[in-house]
Amino acid sequence: MTDPDRTAELHGRADKIRNEMGGFDKLSKMANEGDRTIREHLDAFLDAGSFREIGTFSTSIRPDQRDKTPGDGKIGGHGTVDGRPVTVFGDDITVYRGSSSIVGTRKEHRLYERAMAMGTPIVHFGETGGARIPDTMGAEGISEPGGLFELAKRQHRVPMATMVTGQSFGGSSFLSALSDYVVMVRGSCLAVTSPKVFEIATGEVISFEDVGGVDVHARKTGQIDLGVESDEEGYNAIKKWLSYLPSNAWQVAPRHEPSGSLEHDHDLGDLVPAKRTRGYDMRRVVQRIVDPESLLEIQPLYARNVVCGLARLNGFSVGIIANNPMFGAGTLDPQACHKIIRLATVCDSYNIPMIFLADVPGFMVGERVEHELMLHWGMRMMHALQNASTPTLTVCIRKAFGLAWQAMNGSQMPALGVYSWPGAEIGFMDPEVGVNVAYGSKLGRIEDVEAREAEREALVREVAESTNPYDAAGTMRIDEMIDPGDTRSVLAHDLEMLANRAVPPPEARPLSYWPTC
């Protein structure tokens, strides 16, 4: 029979560890400053009462530190979100700033192993001061990075999200870069190492906000998917993101109850100006095509010339990739290509169909983009889409010029449905640009201004005729011309048909081997 005294001792020790953590003084300081502990984050994120801890009694590997390191700076276990199982872990800053040490990283590694075996998504809460010294100074310490290397081999078999809740350096910042979805709370910092280390190592003085604040990563680097103003907003974003995905790569993405009408939308076409050079917000078009309130934009402030996100269409989870003429005319630049590849990698890994809405004048040109590896990112994007195994559907909304038509999954790409609105233009380049390039010198020899302009307009009309989408439809380079108001119902019908497809096993999805960073 179980010894009651020993059982009582077990519960007493566990309660002490969970209630006191790294010390009441540190807990009181955090509470006064309005900061949450990792245990409070886990309780607020998970379904009430669902958390089951793993590694409660772990401590530092150093005997002299064992009484000061309950949990060894990392807390984690299993629970549920909206009734679905998840694996969770994060940094306990009440224990040496949540620094990464040998036993703490072993715990993370163990939780990763369990998540992979159980087929549960991983959610990581990052807030650490980096590696713990002196634990990692010697050869033994540096030779045991815990689960970091294993996570780099994850191959997207289970989804992984990170929420950056405070100053995040070293291990937790590396884990964010290995994640499929990253949310960052304003006031936190995400960087390889602390600005204090910068100053010691290089003499460079820079603030936490300038090196790795929300605005830096949301707008400039693209290293996060969403910046949020509060913890609650971050929890809800991750929950919403998880709702579009299967729990693992062997399952099918959950289908929700269809919402919104599939009847003809008389006003959809009116959102797009007929003149090819006029800007408009593609997000309004996307929101009319997908189920109401279902769009979750990915990186909404980064590379705004494309709209990327997860949404539902007639209840099915879909990835959305669309040019946005309101920003940079909707061109494809290196940042846009990077953003598209990131979403395509997630969609292919979890077998989520992708829908492309093309209104693109071409790839961006100029010194800036050439020096930012336009050639590399443009071809890497083509490489990704050519190798994607998940089904794709494409609609040319207004125009698609040059190789950007293929880059937006147009003709001769693996799209299973290629459609066009009437009046859309598909060709090598904008007719007006083409006329200026091909006939500029000829037009320049016409001295009469009115005659020169009349000749130029005639040439533009002639070239524009060759971009008529009916020509592409006539040669089966697009599958069908569709009424703009029927776009939602056409795509919904295709998704219903695609639900019957054979789903390739995870190892047969090429982009599952690609990094999402």
Contact by Cβ (8 Å): 428, 404: no
Find the CATH number of the domain harbouring 324.
Answer: 3.90.226.10
Q: Of 515 and 329, which is predicted with more confidence?
A: 329
Q: SS3 of 227, please?
A: strand
Give the pair of three-digit tokens for residue 275: 């003149």
CB under 8 Å to 450, separation ≥6 — which residues? Answer: none
Clarify whether residues 235 and 284 are in a common domain: no
Give the pair of three-digit tokens for residue 20: 């006191």
Above 80 in pLDDT, residue 104?
A: yes
Q: Of 514 and 486, which is predicted with more confidence?
A: 486
Above 60 in pLDDT, residue 438?
A: no
Residue 13 domain flag: yes
Residue 221's pLDDT is 95
**How far is residue 374's CA from residue 377's CA, in Å, rounded to a whole number?**
5
**How far is residue 217's CA from residue 126's CA, in Å, rounded to a whole number?**
15
Q: SS3 of 54, please?
A: coil
Domain termination site, one of 244, 277, 307: 244
For 281, counting Cβ atoms within 10 Å of its Cβ (0-12 exposed, 13-18 middle, 19+ buried), the class is: middle
Q: Cα torsion for 451, 457, 461, 466, to the nearest 10°?
A: 100
The model carries a pTM of: 0.91
Residue 500 domain flag: yes
Above 80 in pLDDT, residue 453?
A: no
CB under 8 Å to 190, separation ≥6 — which residues? Answer: 126, 164, 168, 173, 176, 184, 212, 217, 223, 224
Look at the chain and report how many structural domains it folds into: 2
Phi, psi of 353 (to 5 degrees): -60, 150
Task: Of 61-65, 391-395, 478-482, give the lowest mean pLDDT range.
Answer: 61-65
Contact by Cβ (8 Å): 378, 407: yes
The pLDDT mean for the chain works out to 89
Residue 263 domain flag: no
**How far is residue 110's CA from residue 77's CA, in Å, rounded to a whole number?**
10
**How far is residue 348's CA from residue 396's CA, in Å, rounded to a whole number?**
22
Q: Cα torsion for 366, 372, 376, 378, to the nearest 10°?
A: -60
Clarify whether residues 110 and 214 are in a common domain: yes
Task: Of 115-124, 343-352, 473-482, give the lowest mean pLDDT range.
Answer: 473-482
Clarify whether residues 492 and 389 are in a common domain: yes
Q: What is the 3-state secondary structure (H, E, C) of 237-295?
A: HHHHHHHHCCCCCCCCCCCCCCCCCCCCCCCHHHHCCCCCCCCCCHHHHHHHHCCCCCC
Phi, psi of 6 (to 5 degrees): -70, -35
Q: Averaged over 204-212, what is the pLDDT?
A: 87
Q: Of 464 and 388, which is predicted with more confidence?
A: 388
Residue 462 domain flag: no
Q: Averaged over 2-14, what is the pLDDT?
A: 88
Clarify whether residues 209 and 299 are in a common domain: no
Give the pair of three-digit tokens for residue 488: 């939602």
**Which residue in the block uniquely carries the two structure tokens 């290629």?**
418
Q: Averaged over 105-134, what is the pLDDT?
A: 91
**How far is residue 328's CA from residue 93's CA, in Å, rounded to a whole number?**
42
**How far is residue 52's CA from residue 119's CA, in Å, rounded to a whole number?**
17
Contact by Cβ (8 Å): 45, 88: yes
Q: What is the pLDDT of residues 485-499, one digit of tens each?
A: 999 999 999 999 999
**How far is residue 253's CA from residue 479's CA, in Å, rounded to a whole number?**
27
Residue 473's pLDDT is 61
Q: Is the peptide bond before 506 cis (omega within 30 degrees of 0)?
A: no
**How far is residue 381's CA from residue 338's CA, in Å, rounded to a whole number?**
7
Clarify whether residues 224 and 341 are in a common domain: no
Above 90 in pLDDT, residue 10?
A: yes
Clarify whether residues 18 and 158 are in a common domain: yes
Clarify whether residues 216 and 296 are in a common domain: no
Clarify whether residues 339 and 487 are in a common domain: yes
Residue 99 domain flag: yes
Question: For 186, what's the count of Cα atoms within 13 Å in the CB-facing half-sphere?
Answer: 7
**How far is residue 331's CA from residue 348's CA, in Å, rounded to a whole number?**
24
Clarify whether residues 154 and 282 are in a common domain: no
Find residue 123's DSSP bridge partners: 88, 161
DSSP structural state of residue 73: G
Q: SS3 of 55, please?
A: coil
Clarify whether residues 113 and 239 are in a common domain: yes
Residue 442 domain flag: no
Residue 429's pLDDT is 59
Give the pair of three-digit tokens for residue 407: 């880059």
Q: SS3 of 91, please?
A: strand
Contact by Cβ (8 Å): 416, 498: yes
Q: Averaged over 252-260, what is the pLDDT?
A: 93
Percent of the chain with pLDDT over 70: 89
Give the pair of three-digit tokens for residue 469: 């989408």
Residue 411's pLDDT is 83
Q: Of 468 and 77, which is predicted with more confidence?
A: 77
**Which segment, 139-153, 218-232, 464-478, is predicted with the most confidence on average?**
218-232
Enclosing H/E stretch for 371: helix 367-371
Residue 155 domain flag: yes
For 404, counting Cβ atoms within 10 Å of its Cβ (0-12 exposed, 13-18 middle, 19+ buried), the class is: buried
Domain of 314 in residue numbering reads as 268-423+468-513
Residue 190 domain flag: yes
Q: Of 452 and 84, which is predicted with more confidence?
A: 84
Q: SS3 of 90, please?
A: strand
Task: Of 61-70, 369-378, 490-499, give the lowest mean pLDDT range.
Answer: 61-70
Q: Averaged over 191-204, what is the pLDDT?
A: 81
Clarify whether residues 52 and 196 are in a common domain: yes
Q: Averaged over 59-72, what is the pLDDT?
A: 89
Clarify whether residues 338 and 229 are in a common domain: no
Residue 375's pLDDT is 93
Q: What is the pLDDT of residues 300-353, one digit of tens each?
A: 999 999 999 999 999 999 999 999 999 999 999 999 999 999 999 999 999 999
Residue 435 pLDDT level (bands cut at 50, 70, 90): very low
Residue 193's pLDDT is 82
Task: Of 111-115, 217-221, 394-398, 449-453, give the lowest mean pLDDT range.
Answer: 449-453
Residue 428's pLDDT is 66
Q: Averaged over 185-199, what is the pLDDT?
A: 87
Contact by Cβ (8 Å): 357, 397: yes
Give the pair of three-digit tokens for residue 137: 């100074």
Domain termination site, one of 244, 279, 313: 244
